Copies of this chain bind each other. A is one copy, B any other.
Amino acid sequence: MSVGIRHDDLRRRNRAMVIAAVRRAGQPSRTEIAATTSLSHSTISAISSDLIVEGILTESKPSEAGSLKRGRPQVGLSLNPEAAAVMTVVLSLNFLSVAVIDYAGQVISEEQRRLDTLTMSRESLIGECTAIVRRRLADPDLDVRSIARIAVAIQGITDTRARAMLWSPITPHTDIAFADIFEDEFGIPAIMENDCNMMAVALRWRDPDRYRDDFIAILLSHGIGMGLVLKGELFTGTHSSGGEFGHMIHRPNGALCRCGRRGCVEAYAGNYAIWRNARQMGEDAEPVADVSDADMRALAAAAREGDGPEREAYRKAGEALGYGLGSLFALIDPAPVAMVGVSAAAFDLIEPALRQAIAQTAGGQHSKSISFDTEPNELPLIREGCAMRALIFVDQEIFAPGVQARSGFGGKNVA
């Protein structure tokens, strides 16, 4: 462990730094990059002229129209969209979505497809995934060689090495190494990520002011998922994608969860749990396979209508989420929360009980100051997160290569 820094690593790291600065800032001038990286102008000049020659960056016209200043106008540097491309594959319950994204982050082409993921065989699930990717790669407008990376996101648990799905609620099959499958099939490096982690990555890029170093993204969907960024890094478990917030225990020996255990947060706050409680089916009732978004919206509407089992179901969901968040906050301290997914649209029904519960916990000391944001649609977020993950891989591993070991330094999990 703890490897020293070779002399040639210097350039590599600083190249990566410049690329990262451009990706973050959009069209920064060399002077701005020098300021944010605290490297000298000479160094930035040298590195960026290399990157331009290599076709990674391009010079764009003076960044702002209102160049009211005197002096030589700044020349904006931007990512060359044609430098590379990446592909995202998002697999969720009964739905498969693929997109090709250029180096600057714009969607070039996409395709979506309904599947019956719960009943498909292992082979046909894999087959559908590879087929849709193959169709995209066959696009005549696309230079296949430019695709530098495939990022796959799935609802479920993935391994830390980002190679395989270990378990997922959307299919009975386990341990599918999608990353390896795509690499073998297409010869393109691939990674396999957890959907909620990708949501968190995307939120950070969308709104870096709110979602800076520490925040939580919670997916309120059929199941409950979480993506967590701590100290600027995506938080993952020691072996898996981790962060199984939905399966923290809310009530020992409580309601039956989809995972087969009892008393998980999800067994009170997942769509199926809200549905079960609203229909007064009892906590032991087998979770239903799926509840349509329309049904959930109808449920929320009924709950808003007046007091009754629907409203009580949302109250219980809020309570479970509140105690769960309280326990989480006991571990990590409070942080901004983004609620994502269908039931985030019903957050008005969830919030009161949630805040009341969180106030009972150690982490909820300043419960009023904990702020929630809602975003009803998770799919675009997941795709954006995948795209950024893949693009940053290209930035670091392809356009600034040459470092052997990652231990000690090398922010691998930087969201």
Contacts and interface: CB of A to CB of B under 8 A. Distances in A.
Contacts of A333: 237-240, 242
B409 A247 contact: no
A234 B152 CA distance: 30
Q: This chain: how many copies in the complex?
A: 2
A214 interface: yes
A120 interface: no
A252 B249 contact: no
A331 B361 contact: no
Given A237-B332, A238-B214, A238-B333, A249 B326 contact: yes
A237 B92 CA distance: 32
Interface residues of A, number: 64
A242 B331 contact: yes
Q: Is the interface of A mostly helix, strand, loop or mixed?
A: loop
A330 B38 contact: no
Interface in A237-284: 237-240, 242-245, 247-253, 259, 261-264
A145 interface: no
Given A4-B14, A5-B14, A17-B4, A330 B214 contact: no
A36 B407 CA distance: 12
Given A37-B4, A238-B214, A259-B362, A319 B252 contact: yes
Given A38-B4, A213-B238, A362 B244 contact: yes
A131 interface: no
Nearest to A13: B5
Contact of A331 (B237, B253, B362): B237
Contact of A323 (B238, B249, B405): B249
Given A4-B17, A4-B38, A250 B252 contact: yes
A345 interface: no
A218 to B, nearest CB: 13
A4 B13 CA distance: 7
A135 interface: no
B249 A327 contact: yes
B331 A244 contact: yes
Interface in A189-212: none
A106 interface: no
A231 interface: yes
A20 B407 CA distance: 14
A166 to B, nearest CB: 11
28 contacts: A1-B36, A2-B36, A3-B37, A4-B39, A4-B43, A5-B10, A5-B17, A38-B405, A230-B238, A238-B334, A238-B335, A240-B333, A242-B333, A244-B362, A245-B331, A247-B330, A247-B361, A247-B362, A247-B363, A248-B327, A249-B330, A252-B319, A252-B323, A252-B357, A253-B360, A259-B362, A261-B361, A331-B331
Interface of A: 1-7, 10, 13-14, 17, 20-21, 36-39, 43, 213-214, 230-232, 237-240, 242-245, 247-253, 259, 261-264, 319, 323, 326-328, 330-335, 357, 360-363, 404-405, 408-409, 411
List 7 tightest A-B contacts by C-beta distance, closest first: A247-B362, A237-B333, A4-B39, A248-B327, A4-B37, A214-B238, A244-B330
